[in-house]
């Protein structure tokens, strides 16, 4: 009897485990130019990726002059550890996405995407698709400094991959930027230093695109891919030394931060005024509601009886 109970219990556990495994079996959704694989818990997110992929690919094509491969596979994982297992590549814990060049494969870390926190999925997807495009543009034999590649991909993505651009000014003031030579082949493992590397690369490339145009950025990428050192390529393309461009960039960042501060100072009185108006309106609304309720109570009360009094005394 006990043996039969044990056998039934083992069979039940096996059925439950099998059901759980089937429930977590990854699913694939396909659309124009993309296949998205994800666990069932991310089915809604996967559908939105399929719908929005053509728009993201078109945005990358407009910025870089070429689009991603004809068919891209996108893997959505719960976190960096799961993404690392699915793609069989080592990843740092803070990684939001990864692009496998030559395989037309992109991985997204759902924990790093909004909601509730993190970057929008569109930013990360444009970033990783840009890596694929640059991989095809450069080919397997050519490389460019990592800071330049990451800067270009963030510029196309529209935001820093890690960290905040507002943190850059304090680093500029103390001369605490990372030397470009230290960011040629790899970025730091430490999350804070990696954030500085990403923000620094993004801000500099974004400045170059703002001051010289997006075409200049692509010409710089092509020159670096042909083996020309970046300082020499900058001089050949602009007639200016890279250190002079960096000095202009640092002044630009300080001025940009100053303008933002002035804007916030100018907007602050308006914000305070708007808050006061809202508070005054809410106070008047409370008073009006109180008076209305008081009137409704008075109307609901029964009519008052006439006062009791003595009429004139009649003489008998």
Which residues fall within 8 angstroms of residue 154, CB to CB, at 6 or more apart?
Answer: 127, 160, 161, 198, 201, 202, 205, 206
Q: pLDDT tens per residue, the chain (316 residues)?
A: 555 545 445 555 444 444 444 446 899 999 999 999 999 999 999 999 999 999 999 999 999 999 999 999 999 999 999 999 999 999 999 999 999 998 999 999 999 886 555 688 999 999 999 999 999 998 888 889 999 999 999 999 998 888 888 778 778 777 789 999 999 999 999 999 999 999 999 999 999 999 999 999 999 999 999 989 999 999 999 999 999 999 999 999 888 877 755 555 565 555 545 555 655 555 565 556 545 555 554 554 444 434 434 344 444 4
Amino acid 314: pLDDT? 46
> Which residue reads 């250190």 in tokens?
243
Determine the 3-state secondary structure of 241 from DSSP: coil
Domains with residue ranges and CATH for the chain: 23-141 (3.40.30.160), 143-282 (no CATH)
Amino acid 21: pLDDT? 41
Q: Is 175 exposed, middle or buried (0-12, 13-18, 19+ CB in 10 A)?
A: exposed
Look over the chain and give the mean of its residue pLDDT values, rounded to a whole number: 81
Amino acid 280: pLDDT? 57
Angle between helix 121-138 and 43-64 (nearest 10): 50
Q: Tell me how far CA of residue 21 lies from CA of 18, 26, 39, 84, 251, in angstroms.
A: 5, 10, 11, 20, 57
Angle between helix 214-225 and 191-212 (nearest 10): 120
Which residues fall within 8 angstroms of residue 17, CB to CB, at 6 or more apart?
Answer: none
CA dihedral sign of residues 108, 114, 120, 121: positive
Determine the 3-state secondary structure of 90 from DSSP: coil
Planar angle of CA 69, 155, 65, nearest 5 degrees: 40
Amino acid 160: pLDDT? 87
Q: Tell me how far CA of residue 200 lies from CA of 74, 97, 148, 169, 218, in angstroms.
A: 28, 19, 10, 10, 19
- List strand residue ranges (DSSP E) for 116-247, in order: none
- Report the half-sphere exposure of 65 (CA within 13 A, side-chain side): 12
CA distance 26 to 22: 9
Amino acid 301: pLDDT? 45
């Amino acid at each position: 009897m006990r043996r039969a109970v044990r056998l039934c219990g083992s069979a039940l556990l096996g059925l439950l485990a099998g059901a759980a495994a089937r429930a977590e079996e990854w699913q694939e959704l396909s659309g124009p130019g993309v296949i998205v694989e994800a666990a069932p818990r991310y089915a809604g997110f996967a559908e939105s990726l399929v719908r929005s992929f053509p728009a993201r690919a078109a945005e990358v094509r407009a910025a870089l002059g070429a689009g991603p491969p004809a068919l891209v596979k996108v893997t959505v994982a719960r976190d960096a550890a799961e993404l690392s297992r699915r793609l069989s590549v080592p990843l740092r814990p803070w990684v939001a996405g990864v692009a496998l060049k030559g395989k037309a494969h992109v991985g997204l870390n759902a924990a790093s995407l909004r909601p509730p926190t993190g970057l929008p999925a569109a930013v990360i997807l444009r970033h990783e698709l840009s890596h694929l495009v640059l991989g095809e543009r450069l080919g397997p034999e050519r490389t460019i400094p990592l800071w330049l590649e990451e800067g270009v991909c963030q510029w196309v993505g529209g935001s820093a991959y890690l960290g905040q651009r507002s943190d850059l000014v304090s680093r500029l003031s103390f001369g605490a930027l990372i030397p470009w030579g230290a960011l040629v082949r790899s970025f730091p493992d430490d999350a804070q230093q990696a954030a500085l590397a990403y923000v620094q690369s993004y801000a500099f490339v974004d400045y170059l695109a703002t001051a010289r145009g997006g075409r200049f950025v692509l010409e710089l990428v092509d020159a670096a891919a042909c083996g020309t050192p970046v300082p020499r390529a900058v001089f050949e393309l602009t007639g200016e030394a890279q250190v002079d461009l960096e000095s202009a960039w640092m002044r630009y960042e300080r001025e940009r931060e100053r303008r933002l501060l002035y804007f916030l100072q100018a907007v602050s009185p308006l914000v305070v005024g708007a808050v006061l108006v809202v508070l005054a309106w809410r106070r008047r609304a409370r008073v009006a509601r109180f008076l209305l309720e008081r009137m409704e109570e008075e109307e609901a009360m029964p009519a008052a009886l006439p006062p009791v009094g003595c009429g004139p005394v009649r003489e008998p």
